[in-house]
Structure 1
Amino acid sequence: MDTSLAILKSAKQQSLYDSLIHQLNKDFARAGVDSNFSTEDKPEALARNLVACIYEVIISDFEKYLNLLYAIDVSEARIKEIPAQFVHELAEEVAILILEREFLKVSFKNKHE
């Protein structure tokens, strides 16, 4: 979760935190995953909520989980690099990949607007 926090804190420092949360909500909705990520959440709370949401989707609807990864455009190769582990550990690793990808999107949009 340290890496997730680092990404979120970096987004805050660059004034991209709200955009990152908006992008998360947009992509989760596009994949049909209910999410309640709020700009009012502190990075620690957002990281926990993201992991919990991913965990829930993995155990309840694996197809929806795959759609989420596709909607966000998480690298399939990077997903395959994650070693076999408990679901909560997988959810933490996937949260990092999701945050990295979403942060890249909002950073790119911010630089080219």
Structure 2
Amino acid sequence: MEAGIQILQNAEAAKMYKDLIIQLNKDFLRAGLSEQFGEDLAAEALMRNLTGSLYTTLVSDFEVYLNLLYVIDVSESKIKNLPQQEVHELVFAVSELILEREFVKVSFKNRSE
């Protein structure tokens, strides 16, 4: 969870926190998930809400979970390289990968504008 918070703090420092949340919301919608994250959420609350949403999706609809990872473009090799762990630990690790990828996307987008 700490790595996810660090990514969010880096996004705040780079003035891209709101853009990251907008991108996250857009990708959730594209994956067919109605979960949306408020742009005014603190980093800890965003991380908590993201992991909660991932946990629910993972245990209730694995296909939608996989589609979300595909839409966000989380590296398949990074997912495969995660150690064997309990589901609640896995969603923290996947949340960090999602935030990492979303931050790369918004960084690239902001650089090219």
Structure 2 equivalent of residue 62 of structure 1: 62
Could you tell me which runs of 5 or more consecutive residues in structure 2 were left unpaired when the two chains were aligned: none
TM-score of the pair, normalised by structure 2: 0.98
SS at structure 1 position matched to 2:85? coil
Code of the residue aligned with 1:32 in structure 2: it is G
Give the Cα separation in 1 of the matches to 2:49 and 2:40.
Answer: 13
Could you tell me which runs of 5 or more consecutive residues in structure 1 were left unpaired when the two chains were aligned: none
Code of the residue aligned with 1:63 in structure 2: it is E
Question: How many positions carry a matched residue from both structures?
Answer: 113
TM-score of the pair, normalised by structure 1: 0.98
User: Following superposition of structure 1 onto structure 2, how do residues 1-113 of structure 1 map, counting pairs within 5 Å?
Assistant: 1-113=1-113
Give the Cα separation in 1 of the matches to 2:67 and 2:36.
Answer: 18
State percent identity of aligned pairs.
Answer: 55
Give the Cα separation in 2 of the matches to 1:30 and 1:84.
Answer: 29
Question: CA shift at 1:102, angstroms?
Answer: 0.3
